[in-house]
Amino acid sequence: MVKPPAKASTQMKTFAGETSLCPGCGKVVYFAEKVMSMGRNWHRPCLRCDRCKKTLTSGGHAEHEGRPYCHVPCYGYLFGPKGVNIGDVGCYVYEKDSEQTEISGLS
């Protein structure tokens, strides 16, 4: 009895015999288009900040729980120390007091 030919894999394999899938889109990453970051191969357009979606460079970004973030402002805003103008605290807003028309100086 003759066996039917095995189906050829449509996915390209690496030298180690495994396929490299992009964590961003889940598609195969070929050698000419890969960007290595966080120990995985990405398509260049798929390596984006998880918050603001800005395209990132390999090694030029922060990582938190396996997700890439741009250093400024997203990573600092989400995971940095909380304080004035940083994090979720807010910022000072100076408003002119409607009752005070002029500032009195020291005489």
pLDDT in tens, 68-106: 999 888 998 888 887 655 555 555 555 665 555 455 455
Q: What pLDDT band is residue 7 in, cutting at 50, 70 and 90?
A: very low
Answer yes or no: is pLDDT of 29 > 80: yes
Across the chain, what does the average pLDDT equal?
A: 75
Report pLDDT for 106. Answer: 52
The CA distances from residue 99 to 69, 95, 96, in Å, are 45, 12, 9
Side chain identity, residue 106: L
- The two beta strands, 62-64 and 67-69, are antiparallel
Answer yes or no: is pLDDT of 14 > 90: no
Pick from 62, 61, 55, 27: which is nearest to 41 by CA? 27
